[in-house]
Structure 1
Amino acid sequence: MNRKQRRIFVAALFYLRRKKPRRHWVHPIRSEAARRECGEYHRLVMELRLDDDMFREHFRLSKELFDELLARVGPRIAKMNTRFRQAIGPAQRLAICLRYLSTGDSFRTISSNYRVGRCTVGRVVKEVSAAIWDALLPEYLPAPCMEDWRAIADGFSHRWNFPNCLGSVDGKHVVIEAPDNSGSLYYNYKGTYSIVLLAVVDADYLFRVVDVGGYGRTSDGGSLYNSAFGEGLRDGTLDLPEDAVIPGSEHRGPMPFVFVGDEAFPLRRNLMRPFPGPHVPGEQRVYNYRLSRARLVVECAFGILSSQWRMYRRMMAVSPTTAEACVRATCVLHNYLRVMTLRRRQRADNSSVLTHPCH
């Protein structure tokens, strides 16, 4: 092929690969009028507000919690209207994000239901998830101080019979679509691509520390080592309580406060793991049983998380950064729902005591 023929071939290839001109600035199906007339938010969601149970099944939040969450994140996710188009409102943006987190449906499906663009759904999910994390983090997932660690230890001692325990540690693989040009970084031992959610959970199934974004090929021990929590555990900067005497073992002297994990984690002064092997002596078997009861708290928390937010039941066809934002949002929403439910029960109990005829 001579130079002239090569130029003709390159020009023809460029002509064939050039993008087609857009037929619509905004497709009629996704116009503002069609969205208000047939969109899921303006039709179905408004009808669901008449039934609190169905609304909770749809968004995993009650109407009251949805409105309160909207008041918290609304100013962060509001967009400005322009002369060319009307911006999607904060309530609808929050509904789109919660619908993805609660179902894991594809962006194309949510786009068709809400009458917005597929790329718009992707941006909304990423931005609103980050806003939820920023708005709820200071109150519902703060960094524990020494008094918080002591309260967590009291909870494990009374509820799970494991004294001086500061939390249960484990990692969860969140399955994602293989990222471009990532090689085997996200390929895990299960044969899927994933990012790692490393979490510390207290006795009431609340997340106290989360680290999201570890490569799927990394083990739980490696994820702990690479995380900020693991670095603080090694450096002694987590503000842990001083050693205390365990009731019934005064002869052993003060014992350190510890986190509990499975065999994938290393044995350290503040990190306990079970004795290895299938056949262990009697005292070691009792210790393994007690540690297993305390360690299963984090497994139960992961189970509650994945049953509440069904995106964990599917492969997330999003970029790793979007997946990290979604995982962080569900973790803080998990704490938000449990804390608000507990507060509502306490208010109900107090009101029933005050209105009781015997008082």
Structure 2
Amino acid sequence: MNESVYNELLSLVSPLMKKKDTQMRTAICPHERLTATLRFLATGQPYECLKYSTRISPQSLGQIIPDTCVALYKVLQKYIKFSNSTEKWKEISNYPHCIGAMDGKHIDIIPPRNSGSYYFNYKGMVLLAIVDANYRFLLVDFGTNGRVSDGSVLQNTRLYEKLVEKNLHIPPPDDVTENFKNVLYVFVADDAFPLTTEILKPFRQAFLNSAKKEAYS
């Protein structure tokens, strides 16, 4: 993150994070709150370690970081815009007729109280995201248990329901070139996801095609 992007982000969240000074102490400013939160999100360091680089007590960090994350969500959610029409999908499409790339990421968490063995795999929760060719997020889903595969995470989302119901308004197949006709619009993903008419695994398929050519040559 460069300085201009950080300053823009700070200007967005500052009104939601600014606290009043008291007679006992000066309030921690939005700049310090945001930098501490971004450092935590980037490194995953525990509060006990962050206190040395932020000069903020672990007790305060335990309140500041969740509050700042809520503020970030409020100001940034408008930038995540999922397409709801055929025309918008066509605007996004890249890599002939690719309308997004999806993948999952395990996020470390502190297990909730009284959760028993539900989080004993130490993988936290799964963040599922779909991005376009310019690294812009189209959809984000978070909250599924970490021991679940990416494919199963997808099946627990509203996106998958819409895929099954054919309600995503994905454009119908059309021609790319004279020799490349009736091509589907698809999401690209890795082997953790199911292969469907809307989800393609291009790298694996390219590898299999190459292997077949070598076998027959």
Give me the TM-score of the superposition, normalised by structure 2: 0.79
1:196 partnered with 2:126: yes
Cross-structure match for 1:205? 135
Q: Which residue in the other structure is 1:166 paired with?
A: 99
Q: Distance in 2 between matches of 1:112 and 1:260?
A: 42
CA RMSD of aligned residues (A): 3.0
Deviation at 1:274, TM superposition (A): 6.5
Corresponding position of 2:38: 98
1:270 aligns with 2:204: no
Change (3 A) 1:79 1:236: farther
Q: Distance in 2 between matches of 1:276 and 1:71?
A: 43
Aligned to 2:29: 89
**Which one-letter code corresponds to 2:148 in the other structure?**
T
Partner residue, 2:90: 150
Structure 1 runs not aligned, ≥5 long: 1-59, 157-162, 287-359
Aligned to 2:2: 61
| Equivalence for 1:130 | 70
Residues 186 and 194, structure 1, Cα contact 8 Å, conserved in 2: yes
| Native 8 Å contact 1:79 1:88 kept in 2 | yes
Q: Distance in 2 between matches of 1:255 and 1:284?
A: 23
1:79 is paired with a residue whose SS is: coil
1:235 alignment counterpart: 165
Q: Distance in 1 between matches of 2:160 and 2:19?
A: 39
Secondary structure in structure 2 of the residue aligned to 1:229: helix
Instruction: Specify which structure has the higher proportion of strand.
Output: 2
Identity across the alignment (%)? 35
Q: Is the 8 A contact 2:44 2:108 kept in 1?
A: no
Q: 1:99 to 1:249 in 2, by over 3 A?
A: closer
What is the CA–CA distance in structure 1 between the aligned matches of 2:191 and 2:84, rounded to whole Å? 27
Deviation at 1:276, TM superposition (A): 8.5
Residue-pair matches, total: 210
- Alpha-carbon distance change, 73 to 263 in structure 1, aligned in 2, over 3 angstroms: same
TM-score (ref. length: structure 1): 0.51
| 1:243 aligned counterpart, secondary structure | coil
Verify: 1:72 aligned to 2:12, yes or no: yes
Letter in 1 for 2:46: S
Inter-CA distance 132–246: structure 2 relative to 1 (3 Å threshold): same
Residue correspondence of structure 1 range 249-260 to structure 2 within 5 A: 249-250=180-181, 254-260=182-188
Q: Which letter does structure 1 place at the counterpart of 2:32? A: Q
Give the conservation status (yes or no) of the 8 Å contact 1:275–1:284: no
Work out which of the two has the higher radius of gyration on C-alpha atoms and give 1 or 2: 1
Aligned to 1:175: 108
Kindly tell me: are residues 145 and 284 of structure 1, through their superposed partners in 2, closer, same or farther at Cα, counting changes over 3 Å?
A: farther
- Describe how 1:215-234 pairs up with structure 2 within 5 A: 215-234=145-164
Shift of 1:117: 2.9
**Structure 2 unaligned residues grouped into runs of 5+:** none
C-alpha separation between the residues in 2 aligned to 1:78 and 1:275?
A: 47
CA 114–262 in structure 1, closer or farther in 2 if over 3 Å, else same: closer
